[in-house]
Copies of this chain bind each other. A is one copy, B any other.
């Protein structure tokens, strides 16, 4: 993890829970949190000036989730606002590992803790590829 990231506040993205996110249990459907986690990672990339559409058109590359551990600590419900954080835990030439937390805004309660490994992939060949140098520079 870069010094800058380690000492600064982690990136965070606010998300509102809508009807579409809930299920008949009255809470957010568990797979829905993965969408929230990805929105936050996408917005983190955008905040670094990384345009995923342009990246793909120029290089054929995209990030794909390789593995993920996720703890469901508490449920969010309709209308809740949550903050989703993005922290780089470690970085390698073709992948990186994120620590992400989903926290309810109203009471600060942690609802989700996730460790997500995303790999840089050549979409045509569906093979791992080195993260471009200019991206690595932006990320650290």
Contacts and interface: CB of A to CB of B under 8 A. Distances in A.
Interface stretch (A3-11, A26-34, A84-92, A129-137): A26-34
A24 B57 CA distance: 12
Given A69-B69, A126-B75, A29 B19 contact: yes
B34 A64 contact: no
Interface of A: 16, 18-20, 22-27, 29-32, 34-35, 38-39, 42, 51-53, 62, 64-72, 74-75, 77-79, 123, 126
Contacts of A42: 18-19
B38 A18 contact: yes
A38 B20 contact: yes
B69 A65 contact: no
A76 B50 CA distance: 20
A79 B53 contact: yes
A32 to B, nearest CB: 8
